Amino acid sequence: MRELFGTDGMRGEAGRFPLDATTVRTVGYSLATHLKERLQRTPLLVVGRDTRESGDWLERALVEGATGGGADCKSGGVITTPGVAFLARTLPRDAGVVISASHNPYQDNGVKIFAPSGRKLDDGTERLIEADIFARVAVPLNEYGDAAGKAEQHAATLQLRYIDFLAEEIGQGLSLKNLKLVLDCANGAASNLAPLLFERLGASVLAINNQPDGRNINRDCGSLHIQHLRRAVIDSSADLGVAFDGDADRSLFVDNQGLFVDGDTTLWLLANYLQSRNKLNHGLVIATVMSNFGLEIALGARGLRLLRTDVGDKNVLDELLRSGASLGGEQSGHIIFPDVSLAGDGMITTLNVLRAVKEDASSLHQLTEGFERYPQILLNVRVREKRPFAEVESISNCVREIELKLADHGRLLLRYSGTEPLARVMIEGESQTEIEQYASRLAAVIREELGT
């Protein structure tokens, strides 16, 4: 059977399978019926969406299906992905469902399902839902009336509950007076919530890209387009800027000099902050294979360790829980603090960065000193087949030679794309010229052996 759920839920173009109303209605129905079977009672769901024009009718279809399957549904309306995860954990509910495609353009949408713990839905239940979709299970509808309208009756109250948690628990004792922030809300789910939160804590806030119209989410704004935030920070003489993505599960930063602070740099400053307060469990930071080699070097110089996982926040979370580490994340700005939440939350990340700024009486620029990004090159080679690289002698020999030359001063990562017929060559090292030569050489060997 084809798999519809990837590592970050089910995504596609809104209106087309599997993000059409009929299929999403089946998702809601299937989730409700399988939960009801397992729990032997009425399943309780909470749902939410970002600002895409398709979000309203897709959420409506999801709630209709879930109600038809016997679930009780509440909706947080337009709310961040981690906001739904929080509500699933604390209301409590048996599952949380988010209608969002994160940083994708408005034409796309998605369905992401959380367990009450904040972890993504287990693979077993996802496979059951997929089976129901392909079996075209009939979904009863008529007797449930305006289920979506009833579910959203208390959306404002649920949103405030989430903001209260961020301000009073995560932001406890944190005063942002005399701090000027620029918030790029990506015309997404954070558009109303983020300014409300940081103004409540005393900051002077300039919000940009916070006027969603259903089609401008992520368009030339937010975490994928930092240049606009950089300009706003400099023009307004702000202390720092924050860029969220469409569903605000990640955040990236710009310091008062307009310099970009990505997820690797954020992990660096947060690791230092937590270690100085004996809160960095095992002196360990979890990141992915895509994190810059400079992070590994910088942490090592402080006696801290970097442990890498495969790409994906799910893999980072799994390793955080396995190792007992207290900090992990991705270069994209998706940071996880498992002691607080198992879902990455851009606003929680921002609060922790601001706490470090305030408690250390330092600027964001000063807190990032000591981290130097290594030069990096990434090449994609189109291939006709995805044979294991170790089985191709010329490729494995070339890899071995390059790794010997890089020694302890660089890194080579060779992997296949999970979605395209591509081999990805990523090399980091001290010299841009050298790594470009190494990458070109390896790409040529791959092209010769496996290329189209």
Angle between helices 123-134 and 21-39 (to 10 degrees): 130
How far are the Cα atoms of 27, 39, 73, 163, 367 from residue 42, in angstroms, in the given order?
Answer: 17, 8, 10, 28, 50
Q: Quick one: pLDDT at residue 148? A: 83
Cα three-residue angle 107-110-116, rounded to 5 degrees: 155
> In 3-state terms, what secondary structure has residue 201?
coil
List the chain pLDDT tens, one digit each, 452 residues.
Answer: 458 998 778 999 999 999 999 999 999 999 999 999 999 999 999 999 999 999 999 999 999 999 999 999 999 999 999 999 999 999 999 999 999 999 999 999 999 999 999 888 888 999 999 999 999 998 887 666 788 888 899 999 999 999 999 999 999 999 999 999 999 999 999 999 999 999 999 999 999 999 999 999 999 999 999 999 999 999 999 999 999 999 999 999 999 999 999 999 999 999 999 999 999 999 999 999 999 999 999 999 999 999 999 988 889 999 999 999 999 999 999 999 999 999 999 999 999 999 999 999 999 999 999 999 999 999 999 999 999 999 999 999 999 999 999 998 999 999 998 778 999 999 999 999 999 999 999 999 999 999 98
Task: Catalytic residue, from 30, 102, 191, 223: name it.
Answer: 102
Domain 10-157 has CATH 3.40.1710.10: no
> In 3-state terms, what secondary structure has residue 369?
coil
Q: Which is nearest to 378 in space by CA: 295, 435, 308, 419?
A: 435
Q: Which two three-digit tokens encode residue 215?
A: 């089609």
Q: Can you say how many angstroms the Cα of residue 120 is from the centroid of all Cα atoms in its chain? A: 12
Tell me which H or E stretch contains 66. helix 55-68
* Burial (CB count <10 Å: 0-12, 13-18, 19+), residue 440: middle
Q: Which is nearest to 251 in space by CA: 185, 327, 325?
A: 185
Architecture of domain 171-367 in this structure: 3-Layer(aba) Sandwich (3.40)
Phi, psi of 62 (to 5 degrees): -60, -45
Ranges for all domains in the chain classified under CATH 3.40.120.10: 10-157, 171-367
- List all residues 6 or more positions away from 412 whose beta carbon is below 8 Å from its beta carbon: 399, 402, 403, 406, 425, 426, 427, 438, 442
Burial call 11-44: b when 16+ CB within 10 Å, e when fewer: bbbbeeebbbbebbbbbbbbbbbbbbeeeeeebb
Is 332 a residue of the active site? Answer: no
pTM of the model: 0.93
How far are the Cα atoms of 375, 411, 432, 443 from residue 400, in angstroms, in the given order?
Answer: 20, 11, 20, 14
Q: Which two three-digit tokens encode residue 55?
A: 């979000």
Burial call 149-167: b when 16+ CB within 10 Å, e when fewer: ebbbeebeebbebbbebbb
Q: Quick one: pLDDT at residue 1? A: 47
Fold that domain 376-450 belongs to in CATH: TATA-Binding Protein (3.30.310)
- Please list the alpha-helical segments (H only) found in 91-213: 123-134, 147-151, 155-165, 190-200
Q: Quick one: pLDDT at residue 421? A: 92
Q: Quick one: pLDDT at residue 118? A: 85
Q: Quick one: pLDDT at residue 143? A: 63
Ranges for all domains in the chain classified under CATH 3.30.310.50: 376-450
Q: Quick one: pLDDT at residue 113? A: 96
Residue 192: other Cβ atoms inside 10 A: 18
Q: Which two three-digit tokens encode residue 119?
A: 């972890």
Q: Quick one: pLDDT at residue 426? A: 96
Q: Which two three-digit tokens encode residue 230?
A: 């950089």
Tokens 């790594």, residue located: 435
Q: Which is nearest to 102 in space by CA: 302, 346, 273, 284?
A: 346
